[in-house]
Amino acid sequence: MLDKAIDGSGSLWIGNTDRNDMSAGIYIHIPFCVRKCLYCDFISSCGNEKDMEKYQKALINELNMTQMCGQADSVFFGGGTPSVYPSLYISEIIELLNRKKVLKENAEITIEVNPGTVTLSKLKTYMALGINRLSIGLQSADDDELKRLGRIHDYHDFLETFDHARNAGFQNINIDLMSAIPGQTILSYEHTLGKIVSLNPEHISAYSLIIEEETPFYEMYGRNDEMNLLPSEEEEREMYYMTKQYLAENGYVRYEISNYAKHGYECRHNLKYWSREDYYGFGIAAASLVDNERYTNTSDRAFYIREMGRTDKVREEHTKLSVSEQMEEYMFLGLRKMEGISYQQFQQCFGTNIHEIYGEVIEREIKRELLIWDEKAQRLYLSEKGIDVSNMVMAQFLL
């Protein structure tokens, strides 16, 4: 049931008054990796057994201290490389969630794994724990490109992992791919796409490499011959168009700007981010959105461990979103989905006709052919042209 209320600060709140009806998502951040990839700016670092043991204690404490409303129909173990974390710890977390009765039956439970960090027996353990979706970080099927990225594995390791995953019984597998890698050519990218599609995974995430500050790649950029092998902007666009076309021809539906899935295999957890459903994040740097309040955990692992994940200490950057902020998010996150946003749902969520708020922008962008209005479905979504300049289009919706 949706309802409007005035909170203590006098601002208008729109939320679900019957929180037990909701299906939230749960994200668990495992910040350990075998070694840092050269392009990586995620919150992750190497860790030994002792570090993991201490982290686990803090994580369990944070989970214990958190009161969740309703039940979750998705859990996502992300990182980092969750597959370097002892399976026993993953098992403890799932058991705790079950004890707290916060997991819905048939919840989607995903774990990210990297080739070279899982055995068949570990994958069977995951399966036995109820994990039903794997996300494998491959990036490229070309060993030279993998080396340039600083990945710990080669393509053969990936094939072994994929094979083990199928043998362990996983029927829902995502593969992460990357384009615009130094030294990558149109032809080598085409080979990567062809090899991956021939394996028939259920889901493919395809992103372009972005050189982020404070990464070794950023430091090397312009100073290192290898980095000067970055594909040109035109080549990058060609890879992007090739991804779209090739995956569509092979039965993958693009449901978000960078995500493709066989019918019925869209990632339930990630859809929550783009649909602004509630999610609870645990572990360092994990973000949460609960009843229109956003907060993010500290990124400082030592502090998180010292404070034993105490929710009053480790949760930072609390923001109660105003109605305008909620509307902005609704638009720029919703437009990431190929199905776009629903006028009716906007009306239900905010009690206002979308045209009263965004009429001018919507009409202008439809005229420029960057947005498409589907009269029958009453939905608004980005055109192909609009996807190419999606950041610019989405920025128009900031109030």
Q: Choose the binding region for ligand SF4 from 30-38, 250-258, 330-338, 378-386 (rule: CB under 6 A).
A: 30-38
Q: Choose the binding region for ligand SF4 from 32-40, 163-171, 275-283, 311-319 (rule: CB under 6 A).
A: 32-40
Residue 134 or 290: the one with the smaller Cβ distance to ligand SF4 is 134
| Residues 148, 178 contacting (CB under 8 angstroms) | no
User: Which of 14, 28, 33, 196 touches ligand SF4 by CB under 6 A?
Assistant: 33
Restricted to residues 47-86, the positions that interact with ligand SF4 (CB under 6 A) are: 79-81
The reply to whether 394 sits near ligand SF4 by the rule CB under 6 A is no
First to last CA, the chain: 27
Q: How many Cβ atoms sit within 10 Å of the Cβ of residue 275? A: 14
SS3 call for 357: helix
Q: In what order do the strands lie in the sheet with 341-342?
A: 341-342, 379-382, 371-374
Whether the link from the prior residue into 194 is cis, omega within 30° of 0, is: no
Complete DSSP assignment for 102-146? -EEEEEEEEEEE-TTS--HHHHHHHHHHT--EEEEEEE-S-HHHH
| Residues 339, 321 contacting (CB under 8 angstroms) | no
Give min distance, CB of 396 to ligand SF4, in A. Answer: 32
User: Which of 16, 23, 36, 313 touches ligand SF4 by CB under 6 A?
Assistant: 36
How many Å apart are CA 391 and CA 329, to the nearest integer?
13
Q: Choose the binding region for ligand SF4 from 40-48, 166-174, 282-290, 345-353 (rule: CB under 6 A).
A: 40-48
How many Å apart are CA 246 and CA 278, to the nearest integer?
34
What is the enclosing helix (H) or strand (E) of 295?
strand 293-297
Question: What are the backbone angles phi and psi of residue 294, rounded to the nearest 5°?
Answer: -105, 140
Per-residue contact string for residues 136-155; x = within reach of ligand SF4 by CB under 6 A: -x------------------
Give min distance, CB of 283 to ligand SF4, in A. Answer: 13
| Residues 282, 229 contacting (CB under 8 angstroms) | no
User: Which of 37, 94, 321, 357 touches ligand SF4 by CB under 6 A?
Assistant: 37
Give min distance, CB of 44 to ligand SF4, in A. Answer: 4
Residue 80 or 182: the one with the smaller Cβ distance to ligand SF4 is 80
The reply to whether 326 sits near ligand SF4 by the rule CB under 6 A is no
The reply to whether 205 sits near ligand SF4 by the rule CB under 6 A is no
Residue 143 or 329: the one with the smaller Cβ distance to ligand SF4 is 143
> ∠ CA 182-134-170 to the nearest 5 degrees?
130
User: Which of 25, 26, 28, 44 touches ligand SF4 by CB under 6 A?
Assistant: 44
Restricted to residues 97-136, the positions that interact with ligand SF4 (CB under 6 A) are: 114
Positions that interact with ligand SF4 (CB under 6 A): 33, 36-37, 40, 42, 44, 79-81, 114, 137
